Structure 1
């Protein structure tokens, strides 16, 4: 009699790429699948929500929840299909803005044909959050929200988050509406926050790209460089204006110096306010230089170290199989891995028996000319960076503890001290990675006037030892028709078992994963 626990999966994934193989997970012996998604996307419909309302990006969360309706296939009634059509609907992109706003009015007022097959109680439940969203947009009418290409599902999630004050509560409401709460499948944001989350990429040539869209899908409006190179880095904020809420929004020409005609033109130009609203995922411009690392930044451009959603660590400590999904390596996967506690949670998990990397079938703008080894090294480096951040924090904490012990026995002699008085409050924050901005860093974290400057000793190199690659990845699945070079011998010497599966071909001739073959492959791994 087999008393072993059934298979369970925790999947680090992005948006549309993982959606393609979603059925493969749910055709296995178990439906216990948790999808961990980043919330840093700042392109498309999400970018307009971020510009006007702020908050976390919900586009990938909405996309995954809608896709799960098909994968779980438990609610195929006429009404559930209508709800799916409504929450996956996008407002037109090819009409003038006024006509788009008119269609939005039909939806929010409950008069659009999309409501026809939805019962009155569910209609009013959904419409309640849409009207709240609309109210918040009206309160910010001066920002002129652009409804073009807007996702109704994104609007619902945003309205629910604003009403409850919780991103996870909004996800729960969305999942309840579409009927996927009765199975052990869940969608979890890697960071549980109501704030906007921004990532940046440091290139090996020293250049910095800010925001997911600029890294992976630059706006077609931005000028292109010669030889198909990437768009130029956006201009950094002048330090004089860094902390001012009245910073000049038009660079060299302020509203007070513009004549009425110029002002009207600027305010009526819908596209001027948000270059990230329209972009192409098929952009093939190469970056000027390979990406060195991905990190999180605050509104002042300083590196920060977010804490992951506690549920993420909980799932990594309970599930049996970890999967690094296909998708954008540096903007979908790695933002999940560099968070504090993630590296340790994966390497020290007692439940994870298999840690599987699904290798992409092709490279994209972020990974031009990458081999399979490059993917493995990038993931390992990100997880070791997560562990290093934890080690640094523990080191700085130990310094504080030692200082507190010394303070217990220390009686200040104010007559002989150059610092006659200090406050008892110390801001317990590690130094910023931007050494040239050390003084601005102190200002940005809100240091109290009169508080002492805390000088931490340098972090000793012998306080952290990177984990081996095999601590993070045990298996790698790749396609037999993969366009990415795979050196099986070199990879298996690292302690990773390589598994080749039969690939399929997309409509444009690119190698892709086939759901049936993927199910067979993943079951082969977890059952051995």
Structure 2
């Protein structure tokens, strides 16, 4: 029984876990950022001074084994209309907040929802601290708050927390016991790296000799990774963690239709490219994406599952 730890946040991590929960004979653990400070999650965080639960909610739904998973997911992700009182809030966030009150803790809420949804594996926050993410831009501009970072038309030099963050002990334990560690899929600077800049988490990853795999995003993200190649993504991981943090990088080679590419280019987003230089990690090319009903690029959970299974066979 192999122990797999996946580190990230956002919808990309949810897509990965939807596929990976189908892998047999593995123990899955998702370590999720709590740096989100936008939308419903941000409002609840500010009023009740609790860690962000939005990304964790998405991952809980993604890892559900219930046959009527879609119904639960729709309920958990239902958003009330308007912008006053409960307007704009996600029902799942309100349920999460209620369970925090009835169980007495953030982890109690996660465990309760895990039982209700029959979740495969564990979902752990990287920290239980209420954190604020900062970004220092290359021109010296300082941006406060995860939601604001992608809105600044600039290039990110580094992201950081202003205070020492206490890691969640079970997250460290899961990393120490991992047979495979995976970063991504997700926003590089606002989903993946917010976990790695917690010093003890990067240290635990560094000290574990198991293979480390990075699933790179298919498209660049405006305000975060403009013009980035796969190698640029890995360099950013290294800058925020330790030398040579990646053994295998999984790169999307799916052909993107011209009309889709043009729609993304209009938003300042382009396919991530490969540099020609040889790196000190293996690059695996796979078809990882599909188009949803609106023509938006989404990562294919089944393709992720297959890629991870191939990697597992070699360790």
2:20 maps to 1:25: yes
2: CA distance between counterparts of 1:31 and 1:87?
26
1:381–1:369 CA distance, 2 compared to 1 (3 A):
same
For 2:208 and 2:36, how far apart are their aligned partners in 1? 29
Q: What SS does the corresponding residue of 1:311 show, helix, strand or coil?
A: helix
- 488, 499, 513: which one pairs with 2:299? 513
How many Å separate the matches in 1 of 2:291 and 2:172? 35
Alignment of 1:329-408 (within 5 A): 329-350=188-209, 352=210, 354-365=211-222, 366-384=224-242
8 Å contact 2:15–2:62 — kept in the other structure?
Answer: no
* Equivalent in the alignment of 1:293: 158
Where in structure 2 are the equivalents of 1:13-162 lying within 5 Å? 13-69=8-64, 72=65, 75-76=66-67, 84-93=73-82, 146-162=85-101
Shift of 1:64: 1.2
SS at match of 2:302: helix
Q: 1:176 to 1:520 in 2, by over 3 A?
A: closer
- Cα offset, 1:85, TM superposition: 4.5
Mark the CA change 1:152 to 1:381 in structure 2 (over 3 Å): closer, same or farther: same
Unaligned runs of 5+ in 2: 256-270
TM-score by length of 1: 0.53
2:264 corresponds to which residue? Answer: none
- Aligned match of 2:260: none
Runs of 4+ in 1 over 6 A off after TM superposition: none
Q: Name the CA distance, whole Å, in 2 between partners of 1:160 and 1:383.
A: 34
What is the CA-CA distance between 1:484 and the residue it aligns to? Answer: 1.1
The 1:375–1:85 alpha-carbon spacing in structure 2 relative to 1, beyond 3 Å, is closer
| SS at structure 1 position matched to 2:311 | helix
Out of 107, 125, 140, the residue aligned to residue 168 of structure 1 is 107
2:127 corresponds to which of 155, 170, 191 = 191
> What is the SS of the residue equivalent to 1:367?
coil
Which residue of 1 is the match for residue 311 of structure 2? Answer: 525
Q: Is the 8 A contact 1:362 1:510 kept in 2?
A: no
Structure-2 change in CA distance of 1:526 and 1:81 (3 Å): closer
Q: Which has the higher Rg, Structure 1 or Structure 2?
A: 1
- The TM-score, its normalising length taken from structure 2, stands at 0.87
Which of residues 160, 169, 173 in structure 2 aligns to 1:310?
169
1:364 is displaced (CA, Å) by 0.5
Match of 1:477 in 2: 250
Please identify which structure carries the higher strand content: 2
Structure 1 unpaired stretches of 5+: 1-5, 98-144, 219-229, 231-286, 297-302, 385-467
2:267 corresponds to: none
Verify the 8 A CA contact 1:7 1:29 in the aligned structure 2. no
